[in-house]
Amino acid sequence: MDIKIHGVTREVLSEALAQANKARAQIREVMKGALAEPRTEVSKYAPKMTTFNIDPDKIRDVIGTGGKVINDIIAKCDNVKIDVEDSGRISINKAKEMIDNIVREAKVGEIYEGEVTRVEEYGAFVNLFGTTDGLCHVSRLDWNYVEDATKFVKLGDKLKVVVIGLEEGKIKLSHREFLEKPEGYVERPERKPGNDRPRGGKDFRGGHGKGGNRH
């Protein structure tokens, strides 16, 4: 040790260190008596800090116009502090899931079981995560012909879907992959929203109307 105080001899220093070592050992024994080993779980009252990185291009989405998005997250999470760096590094002690959902992007092939948030004649919109919805077109709801999506699914239903396409920021979903495919099924051309529906065709079983895929 670098001791510059005049009058402190080697003997005095040696005695002080020996006493400190003895006191340290006594303190350790008291601590072990109170807690023999570290806890495997952190107390729910202990402050928690999470640090992770996002794409820097997504920072503006997390912040929002005038800080609206990040302030909304802070308001919804009690006693949260969020630091966002220009590099995309984010430090928070709560609300990680909300931020993950903002910067998350759906990928083709991913499977979700989401809630139906809107139903139109041409298809159903399903929430995948956060505020991200995708469209399950009426032709992808069932292998059999569905004329009107509002007759097949309703608002608030849970629908298992798979992402089949990403076009200009729009997410295309399909539900029929989770249903049994009818024997002799023939693929129909997809009906675009707003287009007139095909009329008067026969289904693959030889009947009319919904209940089968019509040629």
Mind listing the pLDDT tens digit for each residue in 160-211?
999 999 998 899 999 999 999 888 777 776 656 554 444 333 343 333 333 4
* Euclidean distance between CA atoms 37 and 35, whole angstroms: 6
116 in helix, strand or coil? strand
213 in helix, strand or coil? coil
Residue at 67: amino acid letter: G
Confidence at residue 198, expressed as pLDDT on a 0 to 100 scale: 40
Higher pLDDT, 119 or 57: 119
Alpha helices in the chain (DSSP H): 10-34, 59-63, 68-76, 96-103
Distances (CA, A) of 27 to 37, 38, 127, 159: 15, 16, 56, 59
**pLDDT range class, residue 150, cuts 50, 70, 90:** very high
Confidence at residue 79, expressed as pLDDT on a 0 to 100 scale: 63
* Euclidean distance between CA atoms 213 and 195, whole angstroms: 18
pLDDT at 44 over 80: no
Segment 113-134 mean pLDDT = 94
The neighbour count for residue 167, using CB atoms within 10 Å, is 7
The reply to whether the predicted model has a pTM over 0.75 is no
The burial of 75, by beta-carbon neighbours within 10 Å (0-12 exposed, 13-18 middle, 19 or more buried), is given as exposed
Confidence at residue 162, expressed as pLDDT on a 0 to 100 scale: 97
Segment 10-23 mean pLDDT = 89
The neighbour count for residue 175, using CB atoms within 10 Å, is 19
**pLDDT range class, residue 35, cuts 50, 70, 90:** confident
Confidence at residue 100, expressed as pLDDT on a 0 to 100 scale: 80
* Euclidean distance between CA atoms 47 and 51, whole angstroms: 13
Higher pLDDT, 169 or 119: 119
* Euclidean distance between CA atoms 214 and 144, whole angstroms: 8
* Euclidean distance between CA atoms 168 and 90, whole angstroms: 28
**Mean predicted lDDT score pLDDT of the chain:** 81
Task: Tell me which of 36-45, 69-78, 114-123, 153-162 is least confident.
Answer: 36-45
* Euclidean distance between CA atoms 148 and 143, whole angstroms: 14
Confidence at residue 90, expressed as pLDDT on a 0 to 100 scale: 74
**pLDDT range class, residue 3, cuts 50, 70, 90:** low
